Amino acid sequence: MRIMFMTNEFPPNIYGGAGVHVEYLSKELARLAEVEVRSFQEQSFVDGALTVRGTKIDGSQFAGCPVPLISPLKALATCLAFNGQGINADIVHCHTWYAHFGGILAKLMYGTPLAITVHSLEPLRPWKREQIGRGYELSSWVEKTALEMADAVIAVSKSTSEDIARLFDIQPGRMHIIPNGIDTEEYLQVNRPEVLTRFGIDYGGPYVLFVGRMTRQKGLLYLLKAIDQIDPTVQVVLCAGESDTPALQAELEAMVDEIRHRRPGVIWIPEMVKRTTAIALYSHASVFCCPSIYEPFGIINLEAMACGTPVVGSAVGGIPEVVVDGETGFLVDPGLSPEPPHDPADPQRFVTGLAEAINRLALNPALSRSMGEAGRRRVVEQFSWESIAKQTLALYKTLVDQPG
C-alpha cells in the first residue's frame, strides 16, 4: 500500500501535538507500508520506506494582501502545489485544516480515498480570529468541506468524535476513533539534574511544570493566575512556546514579569525546548499541569505520564480519557461557558481548583511518586504507536478495498 500524508508540520518544524502525531505515526507506518509525507517545510529525504518531500511557499506573491490573510492563502497555495506534483498513492491522509484543501483536491481530481485525523476543530477555536482575521472563515469552510466529503474521519478521542458529530454532517460509518500515542522507549524517566541547573531550577525542591504554546486554548493564563495560591515552596516552571499573536505574548510575558517581582521560584523558559530537555524537565517535576480550555486529546499529558510524572489537567475534551482522576493525577473542571469563546464561567473557581490540586501533589512526594508510576503503567499498556499504526493501516485497507 502507498500512503500519502499531507501536513503543515514535520520534524524539525513542529509546534504542536499534530506535528508530533504525524512524526511518530508516519515512521511507524513505514515499517508496514510505503509512506510519503508532503509537508509545508523546506525538506527532502528518504529513510527506507519513508519519503519526505517539503514544499515551502514564501508568500511573496501575496504582497499587498492584509497580513492576517497571508498564512491561510499560503496554505491553499501549498495544497495546490502538492496536487500539481502528481499523486500516486492508494490513500491520502490529511492533518489539520492547513492540509485539508490538498486532500479535497486529491479526492476530486485523482479519485484517491481521503482520510482526515481531527486534532482540533475550528468552530471550537473562535479566538483564531485574533490571529488570522477573516481567514478564520476560510479555515472553517475548508475544514467543514473536507470532513463532510472524507471517506474516513478519525477522532483522537471519544470527546472529539462527539464534537465532530454535533458540528458536522458525517455519516456514522465514516467516523472512527484512534487515539494519539507515545514512544515509551524515548519518553521515560531520566536523572539529569544538570538540565535543571541550566535553567535555574532548584534540584532539591518540588516544582510544577507547564509545557505548551502561548495560546488561549492552552490555558496558561489560568495557571499564571493560580500561582498566588500555589505554596511558595513549590517552584513554577513555565516552558512556553509560540504565541497566537504578539499581543497575547506581550500580555502573558507582562504577567510573568509582574509575578516574578513578588514571588520567588518562577522560572520562565520562552521556547519549545529540545525533546531530550523536555524529557528531563518532565522527569524531575513533582507535577505537570495542563490547564487547557480546549484539548481534543492532549498528547502532552502522555509525555509527562510516560516520564513518571502525575498530571493536574482540565476536565475537558480528551484529557479525561488519558488522565485518570485520583489515579494518575487530578482533573479540575473549568466550568466552561456554553457560548463562544467558551471561557470558564467562573475563572476564580477554576484557578483555585488548579492550585489546590497542584499543592496536593507537589507537597506530598509519596503521592506524586505513586500516581506517576500509575501514569507510566497506563501509557505503556494503552498508548503505544505500534498499536495505533496497526489500527490506522487496517482502516486504510477498508477504504482502498471498498467498491467505487
Residues 169-203 pLDDT 10s? 999 899 999 999 999 999 999 999 999 999 999 99
Query: Mean per-residue pLDDT for 329-341?
Result: 91
The predicted model gives 58-77 an average pLDDT of 92
- Digit-coded pLDDT (tens) for 129-151: 988 999 999 999 999 999 999 99
pLDDT at 354 over 70: yes
- What is the pLDDT, as a whole number, of residue 40? 96
CA dist., res. 19 & res. 242, Å (int): 14
Q: Does domain 193-382 have CATH number 3.40.50.2000?
A: yes
Q: Which residues, including other chains, have CB under 8 Å from residue 385's CB and lie 6 or more apart? A: 24, 25, 28, 181, 182, 183
The answer to whether the beta carbons of residues 208 and 286 sit under 8 Å apart is yes
Answer whether residue 238 shows pLDDT above 80.
yes
394 or 128, which is more confident: 394
In the predicted structure, residue 115 carries a pLDDT above the cut 60: yes
Question: Hey, what's the cell of 52?
Answer: 519526505
**Distant-in-sequence contacts of 43-47, Cβ < 8 A, 24+ apart:** 43/10, 43/13
In this predicted structure, the answer to whether residue 85 has a pLDDT above a threshold of 60 is: yes
Work out the average pLDDT over 249-271: 93
Share the mean pLDDT of the chain. 94
Helix, strand, or coil here: 387? helix
Buried b (16+ CB within 10 A) or exposed e, 366-400: eebeebbebbbebbeeebbbeebbbebbebbeebb
Q: What is the pLDDT of residues 27-39, one digit of tens each?
A: 999 999 999 999 9
Same fold, 2-181+384-401 and 193-382: yes
Give the angle 238-248-253 at the CA atoms, nearest 5°: 40
- The stretch 73-97 carries a mean pLDDT of 97
CATH for 2-181+384-401 (3.90.1530.10, 3.40.50.720, 3.90.950.10, 3.40.50.2000): 3.40.50.2000
Q: What is the pLDDT of residues 363-404, one digit of tens each?
A: 999 999 999 999 999 999 999 899 899 999 999 999 998 765
Residue 340: its pLDDT value, please?
Answer: 76
What pLDDT is attached to residue 403? 61
Which of 2-11, 207-216, 240-249, 280-289 has the weakest average pLDDT?
A: 240-249
CB 93 within 8 A of CB 117: yes
pLDDT, position 404 = 52
Q: Given this model, what pLDDT does residue 213 score? A: 87
Mean pLDDT of 245-255: 89
Instruction: List the domain boundaries for the chain.
Output: 2-181+384-401, 193-382
Q: What percent of the chain has pLDDT over 70?
A: 100
Q: Band of the pLDDT at 127, cuts 50, 70, 90?
A: confident
pLDDT at residue number 233:
97
pLDDT of residue 341: 76
